[in-house]
Chain A
Amino acid sequence: QKEVEQNSGPLSVPEGAIASLNCTYSDRGSQSFFWYRQYSGKSPELIMSIYSNGDKEDGRFTAQLNKASQYVSLLIRDSQPSDSATYLCAVKVYGQNFVFGPGTRLSVLP
């Protein structure tokens, strides 16, 4: 059974700090990796996708992928209170469907 694991949190960081969110997955055939942000009571919002080993940066967000170790991470630099949300990791094998992790709750303290 394909699994995606995340620490449920909450992960608390002070405003301005770097938040580091981690995700591991079980299926070595996974090819596409996504991070979604979900505010309480709202639907998930896609913030990053990554397909190749290494880092991908988009503004304050950096996604890191290591297929050999089967982990993907999301770094949020200069964290803001508005970044407080649940961050969902999603993994996809080509031709198959998305598997989501349980999410990590991030709290950025002013």
Chain B
Amino acid sequence: ETGVTQSPTHLIKTRGQQVTLRCSSQSGHNTVSWYQQALGQGPQFIFQYYREEENGRGNFPPRFSGLQFPNYSSELNVNALELDDSALYLCASSLGGSGDEQFFGPGTRLTVL
């Protein structure tokens, strides 16, 4: 069974740039959720994708967008990067639209300068 993978591991961008983060879900899982975790805080829900459709969104601006592909992998795109976007971005996969028991990937550490 293949676990959740994310790429890249680390990323450094400057303000105003755009970034794309990628996630491959655990084998057999059809739901992917994205979280932002700032240092010393718990993960904050960005959005969830279930069967290629957005299935819930947290309190993040529209410059945070995403996609899910037919193989259930997913992308998180962030436009017009701000300094406060510096964080660990976590992808979690689960089975079913209700998304119980989520399993996290290793995360992508984004630094915005």
A contacts, CB < 8 Å to B:
4, 32, 34, 36, 42-46, 49, 88, 92, 94-103
Contact = CB atoms under 8 A, between A and B. Distances in A.
B101 A49 contact: yes
26 contacts: A4-B42, A34-B101, A36-B104, A42-B107, A43-B106, A45-B104, A46-B101, A46-B102, A46-B103, A88-B42, A88-B43, A92-B99, A95-B98, A97-B56, A97-B99, A98-B33, A98-B43, A98-B45, A98-B102, A99-B45, A100-B35, A100-B42, A100-B44, A100-B45, A102-B40, A103-B42
B36 to A, nearest CB: 11
Contacts of A49: 100-101
B48 interface: yes
Given A44-B43, A101-B42, 15 more contacts: A34-B102, A36-B104, A43-B88, A43-B105, A43-B106, A44-B104, A46-B104, A88-B43, A95-B98, A97-B56, A99-B45, A100-B35, A100-B42, A102-B40, A102-B42
